[in-house]
A = this chain, B = another copy of it.
Amino acid sequence: MAASKTPHTSTSVGIVTPQTAHFTEPLPLRSGAVLHDYQLVYETYGALNTDRSNAVLVCHALNASHHVAGVYAEEPGNTGWWDNMIGPGKPLDTHRFFVIGVNNLGGCHGSTGPLNINPDTGKPWGGDFPVITVEDWVDAQARLADHLGIKQFAAVMGGSLGAMQALAWAIRYPQRLRHSIVIACAPNLSAQNIAFNEVARQAIITDPDFNEGNYQAQDVAPKRGLRVARMVGHITYLSDDEMANKFGRQLKHGKPGYSFDTEFEIESYLRHQGNKFADYFDANTYLRITKALDYFDPAFGHDGNLSQALKAVAAGVLVISFTTDWRFSPERSREIVQALLDNRARVTYAEIDAPHGHDAFLLDDPRYHRLVAAYFARVTEELA
Contacts and interface: CB of A to CB of B under 8 A. Distances in A.
A188 interface: yes
Main SS of chain A's interface residues?
A: helix
Nearest to A239: B192
Contact of A192 (B198, B244, B263): B244
A243 B291 contact: no
Interface residues of A, number: 55
Given A198-B267, A266-B198, A191 B232 contact: no
Interface string A285-309: 0010001001101001000000000
Contact of A270 (B130, B195, B246, B247): B195
Contact of A258 (B130, B194, B297): B130
A217 interface: no
Contacts of A380: none
Interface in A246-268: 246-249, 256, 258-260, 263-264, 266-267
22 contacts: A32-B258, A131-B260, A133-B258, A190-B240, A190-B249, A191-B247, A191-B249, A191-B264, A191-B266, A192-B238, A194-B267, A195-B234, A195-B243, A198-B231, A198-B270, A198-B271, A199-B270, A202-B227, A206-B228, A207-B224, A249-B300, A256-B295
Interface of A: 30-32, 130-131, 133, 188-192, 194-196, 198-199, 201-203, 205-208, 224, 227-228, 231-232, 234-235, 238, 240, 243-244, 246-249, 256, 258-260, 263-264, 266-267, 270-271, 274, 287, 291, 294-295, 297, 300
